[in-house]
Homo-oligomer: A and B are copies of this chain.
Amino acid sequence: MASLTFQQNFKLGILGGGQLGRMLIQSGIDFNIPFTVLDPDENAPCAGITEFHHGKLTDYDTVMNFGKDCDIITIEIENVNTPALKALVKQGKKVFPQPEVIEIIQDKRIQKQFYKDQNIPTADFILTDTAAAVQAHANFLPAVNKLGKEGYDGRGVQILRTAADLAKAFEAPSLLEKLIDFEKEISVIVARNEKGEIKTFPVVEMVFHPVHNLVEYLFAPAEISPDVAEEADRIARQIIASLNMVGLLAVEMFVTKDGKVLVNEIAPRPHNSGHQTIEANGTSQYEQHLRAILNLPLGDTAMIIPGAMVNLLGEDGFAGAARYEGFEEVIAISGVHVHLYGKKFTKPFRKMGHVTIVDRDINSLKEKVALVKKTLKVIS
């Protein structure tokens, strides 16, 4: 039985040593899981809290060499060498999420085609290989032009609103997706273990700034109808089951103004939209990921207390050794939990940490969010 063996003579390898890996390791201390991490940055957030190897995640030999000492291998970032992971599976290693799943998600074109094939609701799209092919679809605008591969955190994604924008179309395999005039953006995190057990977390809502139209904070419980919540939950379960995936999957969705739920993107790992589960839910997304890949029973995901999550980004105009202005003020507020990622250097908009705020009173919770956002700054 896995439960009796994984605390002894066992190693769980993580490809990527960023904040998601860091919180995974922090959680895994409870189950006494021995970790080893591979990351190209020797000062990555995971360095110093576990066995750490320095190397490129996209290099076949580096990943093979790292994997040979592991019993199970997982990821905290999708941009990894999947041929090496496939070869490790052939050697008898367990790799979760499976390399084939990672490959579907690495390429937004394959990902979209997968939704279509599986009848998973998503925005209409056209696959294009050249800028000219995009430009031939002026009638499809407004649309989002996304590079198939290696887009990340906003890079490789652009909105084409009018024919005038067509000049900047990607000259590479990409897709053109109908721009959704959405009412809300929501997310459901779902886990599945090898036995096939599936559990979802309650729906999280991305709350937008009323003026700037940027995500201001994440909030659970999402302020949506029971029907929308049920449909979002159903879609998340359908995707992880169709992928036959083992691990944790974040499913980001749009709720349209007429109440439809459409899949936007998925990520096969712990996710920004699940940070608040550490404090606000019966099981955190990190422990749930570990339970899933170790084939343990999945944990209870019920919300214990309403929670909001604010990303702590490097302040614009500052670069250098990070300092946290307002830290004392915000940790004095009840229900405020600051998580710093251990990055030595800040730069504008770098993810340096996050803050979870929990409060039984929704109005008080939203006031605290505003106060935290106003008070806590990462400067140099």
Contacts and interface: CB of A to CB of B under 8 A. Distances in A.
A22 interface: yes
Contacts of A339: 30
Contacts of A327: 3-4
B340 A31 contact: yes
A51 interface: yes
Nearest to A305: B304
Contacts of A335: 282, 300
B340 A3 contact: no
A342 interface: yes
A337 interface: yes
Contact of A32 (B2, B304, B341): B341
Contacts of A2: 328
Interface stretch (A109-117, A236-244, A248-256, A316-324): A316-324
A302 interface: yes
A331 B282 contact: no
Interface string A21-63: 0100010011110100000000000001111000000000000
Given A297-B332, A305-B304, A332-B297, A325 B4 contact: yes
Interface of A: 1-4, 7-8, 22, 26, 29-32, 34, 48-51, 282, 291, 296-297, 299-300, 302, 304-305, 321-325, 327-328, 331-332, 334-335, 337-342, 344, 353, 358
12 contacts: A3-B324, A4-B327, A7-B322, A7-B340, A8-B344, A30-B338, A31-B338, A282-B334, A300-B334, A300-B335, A302-B334, A304-B305
